[in-house]
Chain A
Amino acid sequence: MNAPQSPVRFPFSPRHAMKFGTPVPDMGSGPIPAESVTSPAYFEREREQIFKQAWLQVGRVEEIPNPGDYFTRELHVFKSNIVVVRGKDGAVRAFHNMCTHRGMALATESCGNTRGFTCEFHGWGFGLDGSLQAVPAIESFPDFDKSKLGLKALACDTWNGFIFVHWNPQPAQTLAEFMGQLAKDMDGFPFDKCQHIAHYTARVKANWKLCIDAFQEAYHATYLHRHAIPGAGDLELALPTSVRFYGPHRSVSCWLKTDIQPTPAEAIAYKHGHFGFVKADEGDSRGLNPSGDESWWFDINVFFPNFFCDLGRGWYFTYNFWPVSENDTIWNMNIYQVQADTAGDRLAQEFTRIVLRDTVYEDMSTMEYSQKAFDSGVITEQTIGDTEIAMRHQYWVADEWVNGRRP
């Protein structure tokens, strides 16, 4: 699966080496111009060339288990609200949440169950498959063709229970083709055995790529997370063990100090419970740690352009980064863990959840400062090191797509 690994040693890390599990694309090595995170014009091109050309994750199938179940999502990047609905045939479909008569929203609740969508404005009725079925006073519309006025669809497909949509109802690439080998490597993970245990959001006044950067390099962990993560004040913690590139997507394996100790309260919970932020012995390890690092903690898996699915043993979490404008982003995080059987398990999980939450809370603090610095024009480029190589890949891929090339 992976190309031969070429260890790159970092001078500050005598004990440790970062490996590349796949060939490294030629993405340059200089500083990254700040313009791609400040320019409204560049952002408009990203809307068209990236977000309207890529598959985007919008939910999970458990949210709509039964025929007629639906949820809506505000997708600012499309300037559209969409509705995702399970049909009578069990298929999951996505539509722009707008009536084809004069544009009223069909679903005005954030979720629900319905036999079809009836517009509250003039009563046009649509089936769960999007077809226009009923038009009051239909004879008053000259030359009316119902078949042309079904709901506007987006392409919709699923991978391991994750629902994705594509702006183009007939995209050039299937979801499986788009997600490629990275998704295939993750297929063995027990997503269906996991339980949703947390949901956090924040609206951040920063470019979506700056927001992603805050979560795809581990270099900052040593310093920024020295409060939330015990033992983080050690440079060794912050090194990615290996990095892999899969077309536009990327995966970074993170290191765990083997001598990290639970706190006194955690230690009591872990005596009775089976989950935690520290290394767990159990869980399905297929699809995890593909580079086989001995000191592995978890994998940061970034599906271009804006979806993370980070895997650890017995748990995973996701991020979505939804751009609103060139300097405004909605961050969305969900945490999932293997089902708890006892209160002890739940309490052990709670430590995981609180540590993770406090950690990402620390991440919130950095993005707006970076954005302000670049908006000021005082700082004109980003200087990055090899431990931040995932960032370089993101800016390179985004720029290639903006210019109509698709690595």
Chain B
Amino acid sequence: MSARLPNAFADLEPLCEYWLHDTEAARNRARISTDMPRIRAFYDAVMPRFDAIIQHLNGFPLGALPAAEENLLNLAFSFVEASAPVERFNSPIVTKTFPPERFIIHEDLGRSGGW
């Protein structure tokens, strides 16, 4: 497997397979399609590295990140997704009373309509 993350974060490489996605919809789908042990394992692996991840990414101009740094940022976005179940509600989805397929996360940023 070729490296997807910057060298300094090679230890997080195995997490990419499940957690690396470049859209909010895909990251959320990953979160709500798994169970708490997998979410917690991801959180526990990234949490001690989160400060270093942000410091590393802050060294690059946002919007012109090299490919590996772009992946690292997307992995960090998934960490934000995973942090909510771990730190707040202890379930992959915040409530089961509304089916997730009816809540549409659009990726058409810059477009406010499309309902």
Hey, which bits of chain A sit against chain B, CB under 8 A?
Answer: 58-60, 62-63, 71, 73-74, 110-111, 196-203, 227-228, 230, 263-266, 268-269, 271-273, 318, 320, 322, 330, 332, 334, 340-347, 350-351, 353-355, 357-359, 361-362, 364-365
Chain B contacts to A: CB under 8 angstroms: 24, 28, 43, 47, 50-51, 54-55, 57-58, 60, 62, 65, 73, 76-77, 79-81, 83-84, 87-89, 91, 93-95, 97-98, 102-115
Residues of A within 8 A of B43 (CB): 265
Instruction: Determine if A263 and B88 form an interchain contact, defined as CB atoms under 8 angstroms apart.
Output: yes
Contact partner of B62 among A111, A346, A353, A361, CB < 8 A? A346
Name B100's closest neighbour in chain A (CB-CB): A361
Q: How many pairs of residues, A versus B, come closer than 8 Å at their CB atoms?
A: 147
Looking at the assembled complex, report how far the CB atom of B73 sits from the nearest CB atom of chain A, in whole angstroms: 6
Partner of B114, one of A199, A230, A268: A199
In the bound complex, residues from chain B placing their C-beta under 8 Å from that of A201 are: 104, 106, 114-115
A73 lies within 8 A of B88 (CB): no
Task: Please determine whether B103 and A202 come into contact, CB atoms closer than 8 angstroms.
Answer: yes
Q: Residue on B with the closest CB to A199?
A: B106
- Find A347's partner among B76, B91, B110 (CB 8 Å cutoff): B76
Q: Is the CB of B73 within 8 A of A343?
A: yes
B residues in contact with A111, CB < 8 Å: 111
**Within the complex, which residue of A334, A342, A345 is in contact with B112, where a contact is CB–CB below 8 Å?**
A334
Q: Is B103 a contact of A361 with CB atoms below 8 Å?
A: yes
Given the interface contacts A227-B94, A346-B73, does A268 sit within 8 Å of B54 by beta carbon?
yes
- In addition to A198-B105, A228-B94, A272-B55, 6 A-B residue pairs with Cβ atoms within 8 Å of each other are A265-B47, A272-B58, A344-B58, A354-B84, A358-B88, A365-B97
User: Is the beta-carbon distance between B102 and A199 smaller than 8 angstroms?
Assistant: no
Q: A341-B62, A343-B58, A354-B80 are in contact. Are A63 and B104 (CB under 8 A)?
A: no
Can you name the residue of chain A whose Cβ is closest to the Cβ of B104?
A201
- Whether the pair A63, B103 counts as a contact (CB closer than 8 A) is no
> Given the complex of chains A and B, what is the CA–CA distance between A273 and B109 in angstroms?
21
Asked if B81 and A354 make an inter-chain contact with CB atoms under 8 angstroms apart, the answer reads yes
Which of B62, B94, B106 has most chain A Cβ within 10 Å?
B94
How many Å lie between the Cα of A372 and that of B91 in the bound state? Answer: 27
A342/B62 in contact, CB under 8 A: yes
Contact partners of B104 in chain A: CB under 8 A: 200-202
Contacting residues, chain B, for A63 (C-beta < 8 A): 110-113
Q: Please, which residues of chain B bring their CB within 8 A of the CB of A263?
A: 83, 87-88
Min Cβ gap A196→B in Å is 5
**Closest chain B residue, CB of each to CB of A110:** B114
Residues of chain B contacted by A357 (CB below 8 angstroms): 28, 105
Across the two chains, which residue of chain A brings its CB closest to B103?
A: A202
